[in-house]
A and B are shown apart, each in its own frame.
Chain A
C-alpha cells in the first residue's frame, strides 16, 4: 500500500503541526522586515522584497517598547517569585502533612482557578483606587501571583509527592527542622518542579491583558500586551510597527518555552492548567 508509506506521512503530520503552530509567528517575523509601502500593495507579497530594520528602529524610538518590556519583566518576575514562594509552602503542607479537609482545599484551589478574571476586575479596581495603588507595580503583581497559585501549587504538590519521605526523615533525625528539611532537601530535589511552576506563572503573567489594561492605565506603566494593543490607532493599523513590536515581545517567551519545552508540557498536563 502506497497509502501506508510511513515516512512520507510522518513528514506530512509533522509539517501540519509545525506550520499550524508557527505560521502566525513566521508571518509577523516576515512582515516586520517589510516597508510600509510594501505592506500596502496588492497583491500582497509573502517574502519581504527589500528587507529593512526600519520597523525595529521605530519600535524602539517612536514607541516605548523597551519601557513596556521592562514593565512586563518586573510584573511577571515579581508575580512569579511571589507565587512560587507562597505555593511551595502550601504545596509542602498539602503533599506531606496531615491536614483535615484536604479534598476541600484542593477543590477550592481548582474552583478559584476558574473564577472569570473579569468578575474580579471591578472589586480589584476599587481596592486599587482606595489604596492609591493605580499604576503601581504592586497592583498587578499581587493579583497575577494569586491567579497562578492554584496551578503552581498543584504542579508542586505532584513533584513533592515524588520525593521519598525517607530523605526528609533522615535529615530530621540528623537534627534538621521540618522547614529546614523543606528548604535543604525537598526544594533542591524538586528544582524541576519549581522551574515548571515558575514558567507557568511567568507565562500567565506575561500574557495577562485584562487586569493590566485596567489597573495600569498610564502609558508609562503599560505591559507589553496592553502597550502593543494600543499601538493601533483609532483609524489606522500601523502593522509594520506592530509586527516588529510583537516579535520583540515574543522573543523571551519563545526562548523560554523552546528551552524548557518538556517541563512546560509536563506541567501543563500535570497541573490541569486552563489555556
Chain B
C-alpha cells in the first residue's frame, strides 16, 4: 500500500462518512424540529398577534406587536401563577435534595439484598405524576385521609388540607417532594458509589468520626452530582402541572404558571395571549438551561 493511495482512500472515506453521519442524524433532527423547534418558533410568532378562537376575528389574527406581553405584565393572575410556581421551586427543590440525599445515603449502605431498596427508589420515579397527585389527594382528604388519621391518633386536630389554601400548598409540595426525591436519590447514589472507599478509611485512621467524614469527604465530592440534580429539579419544578392539577381535580385555586398557560391557550382558546405567556415561561426556563449547559461544558473540560 503506497502512501498517496491510502490518503486518497481515506479522504473518500471521510466524505462518505460525513454523508452517512448526516443521513443518520436526519430522522432525529426532523422529529425534534417538527415537535420541538418549530413549535417554539411558531409560539414566538403567535405571541405577537391578537388571536382568540372565541372571537369572530379568530381566524384572521391581528398583529399587535408586544401588546400581549404588556398585557401579561399587568395581569395579576400571571404574577400570582408565577409567584406560586417560584414558591414551589423554592420549597420542593431544596426539599427533594435533602430527602433525596438522605435516601441515597441510606440506600448506599452495604445491603446484601439490593433489589428491595432499589425498587423503593424506582417506584416513585415510575409512577405517573397524575397518579401521585391522585394518591396524595386521597392521603390528605380531611375525612378519610391517612394523614389526618395519623395526626388524630397522635392527639392532633384534623386539618382541612385540600380546602385551606396554605395547607393545599404544603400538601402539593409534600407530594412533589415525595415523587421527585427518589429521582434525586438515584442520581446521588450514582455519585456516592464512585467516591473511593480509601478516603473514608484513611480519614478513619486519622480519627475522623462519621459526621466529620460526611462533611469533609462525602458532601464536597458529591457536590457535582447535587448540582446536576438541583438544576434538573429546578427546571422540572418550574414546569409543575400534573400534581396540583390532579389534586384540585383540574380546578385552579392554586394555579401554577404551566396551569395558567394551558388554561389561557387551550381552554379559553386565547392563542395570542396564551402564546405570550408560554414565551415568557420558555424564556425563564431557557435561562436556567443555559446555566446548566455552561456547567456541563465546564465539567467536560
Which A residues contact B (CB, under 8 angstroms)? 9-10, 13-14, 16-22, 24-25, 27-28, 31, 39-40, 42-44, 46, 82, 85-87, 89-90, 92-94, 97-99, 103, 105, 107, 110-112, 114-127, 142-143, 145-147, 149, 153, 178-179, 203, 206-210, 214, 224-226, 228-229, 232, 234, 237, 239, 242-243, 246, 249-250, 253-254, 256-258, 261-262, 264-265, 268-269, 272, 274-275
Contact = CB atoms under 8 A, between A and B. Distances in A.
B109 interface: yes
Interface stretch (B70-78, B165-173, B197-205, B258-266): B258-266
B34 interface: yes
A146 to B, nearest CB: 4
Contacts of A275: 125, 180, 183-184, 186, 232, 236
B120 A86 contact: no
A14 B121 CA distance: 11
Contact of A93 (B20, B122, B262): B20
A118 B239 contact: yes
Contacts of A28: 135
B179 to A, nearest CB: 8
A121 B266 contact: yes
B222 interface: no
B24 A17 contact: no
A94 B20 CA distance: 11
Interface centre among A10, A118, A153 (most CB of B within 10 A): A118
A113 B92 CA distance: 21
B1 interface: no
Contacts of B116: 14, 18
Contacts of B250: 229
B125 A17 contact: no
A14 to B, nearest CB: 6
Interface string B210-244: 00000000000000000010001001101101100
Given A10-B109, A116-B238, A143 B18 contact: no
Contacts of B28: 86-87, 89-90, 149, 153
Interface of B: 14, 17-18, 20-21, 24-25, 27-28, 31-32, 34-40, 42-43, 46, 103, 106-107, 109-111, 115-132, 134-139, 141, 143-146, 149, 152-153, 178, 180, 182-184, 186-187, 189-190, 228, 232, 235-236, 238-239, 241-242, 245-246, 249-250, 258, 261-262, 265-266, 271, 274-275, 278-279, 281-282, 285-286, 288-289, 292-293, 296-297, 300
A110 B119 contact: no
B39 A107 contact: no
Contacts of A209: 128-130, 241-242, 245
Nearest to B31: A146
A214 B262 contact: yes
A115 B131 contact: no
Going nearest first, the 4 A-B pairs with the smallest beta carbon separation are A275-B183, A21-B120, A123-B39, A269-B190
A183 B190 CA distance: 31
B262 A21 contact: no
B101 to A, nearest CB: 13
A185 to B, nearest CB: 16
Given A120-B40, A210-B262, A275-B236, A110 B128 contact: no
B40 A115 contact: yes
Given A44-B146, A268-B186, 5 more contacts: A17-B103, A44-B144, A142-B35, A209-B242, A210-B262
B128 A207 contact: yes
Nearest to B233: A275
B278 A119 contact: yes
Nearest to B99: A20
Given A123-B42, A237-B141, A249-B131, A143 B275 contact: no
Contact of A16 (B39, B106, B235): B106
B232 A272 contact: yes
Interface centre among B42, B106, B190 (most CB of A within 10 A): B106
22 contacts: A14-B111, A17-B117, A18-B120, A20-B120, A22-B119, A24-B127, A93-B24, A97-B17, A97-B20, A98-B14, A105-B25, A114-B288, A119-B282, A120-B35, A121-B265, A210-B241, A210-B262, A228-B130, A242-B138, A254-B126, A256-B126, A265-B122
Contacts of A25: 123, 127
Contact of A118 (B21, B249, B281): B281
